[in-house]
Copies of this chain bind each other. A is one copy, B any other.
Amino acid sequence: VAPDGYDASAYPRFSVTVDVVILSVVDGRLHVLLLQRRDEPFAGSWALPGGFKRPDETLDEAARRELLEETGVDAPKHLSQFGAFGDPGRDPRDNIVTIAYLAVTPDIGRIIAGDEALVAGLVPVEEVVTGERVMAFDHERIVRDAIERAAEQLEDTDLATAFVGPRFTLSELQSVYEAVWGDQLDPANFRRSLAQPMLISEYVVPTGERADVGPKGGRPPELFEAGEAWGDVGSPVRRTRRKPRPSENPPEGRQKGRS
């Protein structure tokens, strides 16, 4: 950390912010909460909610506070740090290093636009990754990374239950996986993959009760609720392993290159 014979003012200092990527599944599609900026720079562009870290709070506390201030969500079921971004030019005004957090909520009804922004709302992530929705700063990159992280965490944590309400059907839960992974899952196998953990009440536990049927009829599904919190142990549902494809689409050396 800091060298020894040291004078704080002798070293460059930075503003430190916390940005929160809030993901939610609406109508089977993954959405992210964005604010439209009112002022320069990037007036009119879309940005993530976030704000300055205070000296007397931890990064986690700063993220929780910003989330509460900007969306009214308190004590989210899932809030985790996934990256730090500090490229020199990322904010044209100043040297700002930001710590990015992933939050997940069930479909939120109303979003309150703060006074810093024109509007706030959940927009389909597809619009962000295609570039259709123009993002401020390096926020497109941050959103991409958040989605990637969420996809990973679905695989070996109970993250999915943070997308749904306190009681949910397995179809709802399945649609979370499908929305985040952009993939179709077999309902029969999906159900089965939860079978062992279900027995020991870890991941999801059946509540005997049934939900109302959908608009088009069908058998009323059983309601489940989240089991004991257990973080990242075990493996509820596994994403199909990419087989080493025979020849097409060569692996292409990727570099994480966060900065």
Query: Are A1 and B47 also in contact (CB < 8 A) when A16-B86, A97-B97, A244-B197 are?
Result: yes
Which residues on B sit within 8 Å (CB–CB) of A200? 244
Q: State how many angstroms separate the Cβ of A259 from the closest Cβ of chain B.
A: 3
Q: State how many angstroms separate the Cβ of A25 from the closest Cβ of chain B.
A: 22
Measured CA separation A68–B5 after assembly (Å):
21
Which residues on B sit within 8 Å (CB–CB) of A244? 196-197, 200, 202, 234
Any chain B CB within 8 A of the CB of A190?
Answer: no
Which secondary structure dominates where chain A touches chain B? Answer: loop
Measured CA separation A116–B14 after assembly (Å):
24
Any chain B CB within 8 A of the CB of A75?
Answer: no
Partner of A55, one of B12, B99, B230: B12
Any chain B CB within 8 A of the CB of A140?
Answer: no
Query: Are A88 and B55 also in contact (CB < 8 A) when A80-B256, A83-B81, A256-B80 are?
Result: yes
* A residues 44-93 touching B (CB-CB < 8 Å): 47-48, 50-61, 80-81, 83-88, 91, 93
**A136, B1: Cβ atoms closer than 8 Å:** yes
Q: State how many angstroms separate the Cβ of A56 from the closest Cβ of chain B.
A: 5
Which residues on B sit within 8 Å (CB–CB) of A87? 58-59
**B251, A230: Cβ atoms closer than 8 Å:** yes
**B81, A99: Cβ atoms closer than 8 Å:** no
Nearest chain B residue, comparing its CB with the CB of A49: B1
**B4, A39: Cβ atoms closer than 8 Å:** yes
Q: State how many angstroms separate the Cβ of A239 from the closest Cβ of chain B.
A: 11
4 A-B pairs closest in CB distance: A229-B253, A58-B259, A4-B39, A231-B254
In the complex, 26 of the A-B residue pairs with CB atoms within 8 angstroms, ordered by the A residue number, are A1-B48, A1-B139, A2-B91, A2-B93, A3-B116, A4-B37, A4-B38, A4-B39, A4-B40, A5-B39, A8-B93, A12-B53, A12-B54, A12-B55, A13-B13, A13-B15, A16-B86, A16-B97, A53-B86, A58-B88, A59-B85, A59-B258, A60-B257, A86-B99, A231-B251, A233-B254
